[in-house]
Chain A
């Protein structure tokens, strides 16, 4: 069965420092996608970054990068130079080719950025 595991319920980081949010996944499919979404306290879900299972290079989007280690089935999100506005819930999600695109989400990590 497909599953996403985020083992850090909450994390603190100092402003301007980098932080890594952990995500491991389980799937028997060869073709899948991994996503990270941000959910601020206002509630909306904001797409951050995507990594395909066949992508050989790690995805990057501005201050966000995805550390993809396929053999270890991990897809950690790295946020560089944290800002106060990064304080939010972060969800890792997976979509499998054979599942029609539905997203399976982890439980989330609440990130707090300290000034």
Chain B
């Protein structure tokens, strides 16, 4: 158990809908990362928050947004869902900003299926 929790574990929804994925980092970790794992794109970095502020952005679609709250939990909002958004979404956390030497602890993931 990494100490990172994600809810829900599974999510099935229809195209055009909006969903929210939730992540609670390990106790004491200030950085939260979101990754998407799909069959065609592999594992891709989406976005990083550090202590409530956006720190880095990857290949995140405009239909997707995220935030980190004062209690450090994070939410990833996916809207106008398309079939291609079906993927496993991981949240990871690390202690600090991560200077290339910090391990990131991954949550169990949320499997999103868009029908």
Contacts and interface: CB of A to CB of B under 8 A. Distances in A.
A101 B102 contact: yes
Nearest to A45: B106
B42 to A, nearest CB: 5
A64 interface: no
A52 B55 contact: no
A4 B71 CA distance: 34
Contacts of B99: 31, 97, 101
A32 B102 CA distance: 10
A56 interface: no
Contact of B45 (A35, A91, A102, A108): A102
Interface stretch (B20-28, B76-84, B90-98): B90-98
B91 to A, nearest CB: 10
A50 B103 contact: yes
B44, B58, B106, B108: most-surrounded residue (chain A CB, <10 A): B106
A102 B56 contact: yes
Interface in B28-52: 31, 33, 35, 42-45, 48, 50
Interface of B: 2, 31, 33, 35, 42-45, 48, 50, 55-56, 58, 88, 90, 92, 94, 97-106, 108-109, 111
